[in-house]
Structure 1
């Protein structure tokens, strides 16, 4: 492996934001490297798009036109001349632009003048009773299997959660012949007055809204039940056998071998949190997001964010935010003037503005249920270390903990393979509720490198290793500690 040692612009993530940013950066004459954990470009939303296009068969039709939109982004990227480093796991990013990469069994360091973190979103963890049983998974995981290998559940399946992705995946499963038995809606009821007010602000999203209504109509016409549900539970001994739930004052049970959970997506902040970038608590999206200016620049000048990792705005908005970051990079490197930057950013800024109304409406309509966000004592909240919500509450009550990292050190939550991605926000909410604190006050786990698992052998044989002082992390303000 010939590892790149330096570049002007390093883009982390091969989804729509990263692809658009890298493509435009190359066009502007910037020495650009794109680092992607996946083996092919497309990210999660356009995963495996090239192979699916080559097959040009039933799977492409099943996944639909929104998935097919990724073809143009990937094709433009392939033609851009950007140095592409697939199957690269990023275990470190420092404020001065040093990136730790693990690839093909070796680790190396890449130094960039500017870094764009375009790692997208992750599905919000949904710790319902029995969610660790085999057969229970996120809806996005099933969609990934469909895109990567054309695999769908072959047994009775229940989809539970909220958000437009629930209906899209339901339609895809039905089109693929999967035995979908019911959709359990979990979102909180919304007022018609506020919905109509937000609806009047939607400009560019009319087509997407119409698509959503078509999906729901097609699902209902197929005979699949759509029910409003609460207190969803997975039941079974060695694997999932049934899903039970409360609906209209009665308890219901559906025999099932697959339960797909989805409560929307939240920004993937693992890298920005490990960098100690300033973050903000977004009450509408019920999630943390890095603080960034209009160009994506964070509290560290060399570090920018784009796409859903900067705040959930969707796949259509992501490429525009990536292009803004690329134009700002070209300006900072002296390749274009401020006047030229501002002229070229007019289009992407206008496109992003058109998405704001639709995003606000979706956040309002599909706010996660409070019942979903507050697990019972018996529910496992940290899957890596098998820690229950009750154990966390006992530590808070018995030890008087008021800081999230105290809980981490005593319970080991956040120390497993996922490094808190599956438990961080849930544990923070438990602490906030018990101490009558806001999520902003509680903050998030203090993440340390390696952000992704790294074999000691690779670290011991680290290529092009450098020694020298790193910029120290700030502390104090909880928004800085996230």
Structure 2
């Protein structure tokens, strides 16, 4: 992995770079897709983000560590193309009005993280589209309970917040479960909520700065969107033109979202492409309908299930 090129945006891109450097396998280059205009947009959130200054300090420290090693960093990159027939051979991109080409056998792409909504969708929990995270989130109350009674979501499944926020959300959920079970009302709940707000103060800045690039939200027709079924963005747009109004109809037309990942990788991109083609918001387009099983099962696994238990229960 000595010649890996990191492409995309977000704090995890810099974290991966520093970890590779620490392991003695410095990346060949970093190709960051954050447009220059984003820095001004993000700066508007700087004042409210100061309670989370430790996150900002950590980010700058990682950038300094990468710069110190001399790893080339190409900023404001766009029009990313990974070359190669059966494996990566090079990555080309535009940066500083110049077209660059870096030969490499490994390209790591990252455009941020989003909640996994497969389980909450399968449980018929209500969801909403969050424009700042460009993702669907389960609708939750102040205790992180979903629209389905007694189903709670803590951690990044409730919206990306990071490890510290995940732990605090988990504690709040535990307090509410104890309360619903008839235990005495736990103390410290309001203080924990205040601490959670302070920890989340940096999120608007990060989400404004590291929003997905247009290459992701509006990929070129030739871009492979559903890797499981090898469906391109152009094929999805053609299906929309033929009358497919949403992801589930696209699935019927093209089988996108029916592969091993069950839409985990392509779902949001499919929604964004349909919304743009129809001139609507992603919230109006919605997401794939999730069906069991959550993970693909081998027929041998199904055949090996204990069939005796249901009959015994019936007796």
Aligning the two structures, in what range does the TM-score lie when normalised by the shorter sequence? over 0.9
Q: 2:35 aligns with which of 188, 203, 210?
A: 188
Name the SS for the 2:196 alignment partner: helix
* Partner Cα separation in structure 1 for residue 40 and residue 92 of structure 2: 33
> In the alignment, does 2:5 pair up with 1:158?
yes
1:210 alignment partner in structure 2: 57
Deviation at 1:394, TM superposition (A): 1.4
Moved over 6 A (4+): none
Decide which structure has greater strand share: 1
Q: 1:346 aligns with which of 190, 205, 217?
A: 190
1:419 alignment partner in structure 2: 262
1:280 alignment partner in structure 2: 128
> In the alignment, does 2:229 pair up with 1:385?
yes
Deviations 1:33-72 (A, max 9, x none): xxxxxxxxxxxxxxxxxxxxxxxxxxxxxxxxxxxxxxxx
2:73 alignment partner in structure 1: 226
> In the alignment, does 2:204 pair up with 1:357?
no
Q: CA RMSD in A?
A: 1.8
> In the alignment, does 2:283 pair up with 1:436?
no
Deviation at 1:430, TM superposition (A): 1.3
* Partner Cα separation in structure 2 for residue 354 and residue 236 of structure 1: 46
Deviation at 1:202, TM superposition (A): 2.1
2:293 alignment partner in structure 1: 450
Name stretches of at least 5 consecutive residues in structure 2 with no aligned partner: none
Name stretches of at least 5 consecutive residues in structure 1 with no aligned partner: 1-152, 467-482
Name the SS for the 2:48 alignment partner: coil
> In the alignment, does 2:170 pair up with 1:322?
yes
1:335 alignment partner in structure 2: 183
Deviation at 1:191, TM superposition (A): 5.7
Deviations 1:239-273 (A, max 9, x none): 21111101111111111111111101000111011
Q: Relative to structure 1, is the Cα distance of residues 322 and 395 closer, same or farther in structure 2, using a 3 angstrom cutoff?
A: same
Any conservation in 1 of the 2:52–2:200 contact (CA below 8 Å)? no
1:289 alignment partner in structure 2: 137
* Partner Cα separation in structure 1 for residue 134 and residue 205 of structure 2: 14
> In the alignment, does 2:11 pair up with 1:167?
no
* Partner Cα separation in structure 2 for residue 437 and residue 462 of structure 1: 48
Larger relative contact order, structure 1 or 2 (CA cutoff 8 Å, min sep 6): 1
Any conservation in 2 of the 1:188–1:366 contact (CA below 8 Å)? no
1:245 alignment partner in structure 2: 93
